[in-house]
Amino acid sequence: MQPAQQRDPTMPPGLPPEPPPTRRSRRGTALILTLVVVVVLAILSTGAIISAMQDYRGGRNALVEQRAFAVAEYGLNAAISDWDRSRNLPPPTGMAIGAIDSSNVFVAETDTAKVFIQRLTDNTFWVRSVGRASIGNEQLESQRMTNMVVRIAYPTINPGGAFTTAGNVHVQGSAEITGHNTNPSGWSHCANIAGRDTFAIAVAPGRSVDIQKPDLITGGVNADPAAGDSNTYVRYGTESWNSLVAAADITLPGGSYGPEPVGTATSCDYSRTMNWGEPLRLSSGGDVHTAGCHDYFPIIYINGTATLSRGRGQGVLLVNGDVRTVGNFQWYGLIIARDDIVKGAGTFDLWGSAVSRNANVNSDNAIVGNSNVQWSKCAVESALRGSAMLTRTKERSWTPLY
């Protein structure tokens, strides 16, 4: 028998007794906890996936951006290393101040650099390169720009005369030397190169000048102390004999040469060692001028005596010995000889200036026969500018723009 239920003495009489307590049911709690755990895990995994995707995309975008920067740098370096030296000349042959030249440098199928070259002054240029990577992919395409300010480094040479020498000079026969400034025929850019007349012959004081026909010498003879200074023949402003030799486009041993331009009306074959440019602007005397080589002004270095038997050329001719002409030879620009300049048989025509150091004091310069030496500031300046190399400006020459 169950014991009799005790009545609560605080309860009023007549009320039934309070039933005993019962346990509550907890069914479904585990399911809720499971769902909460699943949601939390889903949130955590989603966050991990999003974070991993962001890291992946960030790394991928950084890689594409770095590729665009590398493409821009490649375009910049390519434009400078493959510099078209005709830009160095005054217009209309070269670029006008403020003018912009642009070109595309194709690196890969989806990576391209576009290069802009702007002339700032006579001697300085601003080169900008815009590199683009993953072209055509809107989500990945990246663009970077770098720039560099460069200047043309060319020697400062102001010859004291059409013919300058530290040695003795013999001018015989019908040879003509004139200090009157003469522009080569057909050179249209000469209008933008200011020039002045100079002496026909500048010679070191104390040296002899023997002239058979004085009436063929225009501009007279000047005893110039600079002509007797050895630095005149080896130092040229910021450049020197050694730096010009190091920058030579063509290097040859001493010997006999007959250069001729090699090219077409629109191209020039720079690989030919006997291609020394095309000074002619009009066909004459049966020679057809090679227009593609009009803007090619090479530096030619001959290590020894150079015997020029025929042909023509333009630029800077450096000869570590004598210059001897024995045929019909034409030169436009500057000739610098370590020893003497001797004219033999044939015809020698020079537009520009010739400089003879006369290192061998036992020999003399001899300009004889059918020789025509004409001072031309345009020919000398064109040779110096047309053969000049690029160098960076001293301060902040390179910067990335974006």
The verdict on residue 83 lying in a domain is yes
Q: Is the pLDDT of residue 57 over 80?
A: no
Residues 265 and 375 in one domain: yes
Residues 251 and 335 in one domain: yes
pLDDT for the residue numbered 331: 96
Separate counts of helices (H) and strands (E) for the chain: 3, 22
pLDDT for the residue numbered 199: 94
pLDDT for the residue numbered 22: 59
pLDDT for the residue numbered 7: 57
- Report the 10 Å Cβ neighbour count for 140: 17
* 0.85 surpassed by pTM: no
The closest alpha carbon to 257, from 305, 293, 219, belongs to 305
pLDDT for the residue numbered 35: 85
> In which element (H, E) is residue 315 found?
strand 299-319
pLDDT for the residue numbered 61: 77
pLDDT for the residue numbered 24: 60
The burial of 32, by beta-carbon neighbours within 10 Å (0-12 exposed, 13-18 middle, 19 or more buried), is given as exposed
The verdict on residue 59 lying in a domain is no
29-38, 134-143, 160-169, 363-372 — which is least confidently predicted? 363-372
The share of the chain scoring above pLDDT 70, in percent, equals: 90
The verdict on residue 45 lying in a domain is no
The verdict on residue 233 lying in a domain is yes
Q: Is the pLDDT of residue 183 over 60?
A: yes
DSSP class of residue 134 equals: S
Q: What is the pLDDT of residues 220-272, one digit of tens each?
A: 999 999 998 988 888 888 888 998 999 899 999 999 999 999 999 899 999 99
The verdict on residue 9 lying in a domain is no
Tell me how many domains the chain contains. Answer: 2
> In which element (H, E) is residue 352 found?
strand 347-356
pLDDT for the residue numbered 367: 79
Query: Which residues are within 8 A (CB) of 68 and not within 5 positions of it... i.e. 6 or more apart?
Result: 111, 131, 132, 133, 142, 143, 144
10-24, 331-345, 349-363, 367-381 — which is least confidently predicted? 10-24
Q: Higher-confidence residue: 320 or 369?
A: 320
34-38, 88-92, 332-336 — which is least confidently predicted? 34-38
32-to-24, 40, 41, 44, 45 alpha-carbon distances in Å: 18, 12, 14, 18, 20
Contact by Cβ (8 Å): 148, 80: yes
pLDDT for the residue numbered 307: 93
pLDDT for the residue numbered 135: 84
Residue range of the domain that includes 196: 161-281+288-386
Q: What is the pLDDT of residues 135-180, one digit of tens each?
A: 878 778 899 999 999 998 888 888 889 999 988 888 888 889 999 9
DSSP class of residue 249 equals: S
Average pLDDT of the segment spanning 199-225: 91
Residues 133 and 194 in one domain: no
Residue 322 dihedral angles phi and psi, to the nearest 5°: -85, 155
The verdict on residue 11 lying in a domain is no
Residues 104 and 215 in one domain: no
Residues 138 and 208 in one domain: no
Residues 173 and 130 in one domain: no
Q: Higher-confidence residue: 364 or 173?
A: 173
| Mean pLDDT, all residues of the chain | 86
Contact by Cβ (8 Å): 304, 359: no
Residues 195 and 82 in one domain: no
Token pair of 153 as six digits: 């480094």
Residues 223 and 363 in one domain: yes
* pLDDT band for position 17 (cuts 50, 70, 90): low
Residues 227 and 117 in one domain: no
Residues 75 and 185 in one domain: no
* pLDDT band for position 48 (cuts 50, 70, 90): confident
The share of the chain scoring above pLDDT 90, in percent, equals: 44
pLDDT for the residue numbered 181: 95
pLDDT for the residue numbered 202: 93
12-26, 141-155, 190-204 — which is least confidently predicted? 12-26
Residues 101 and 175 in one domain: no
110-124, 273-287, 380-394 — which is least confidently predicted? 273-287
Average pLDDT of the segment spanning 25-51: 81
Q: Is the pLDDT of residue 114 over 90?
A: yes
Most confident of the ranges 224-228, 287-291, 398-402? 224-228
The verdict on residue 39 lying in a domain is no
The verdict on residue 43 lying in a domain is no
Residues 107 and 181 in one domain: no
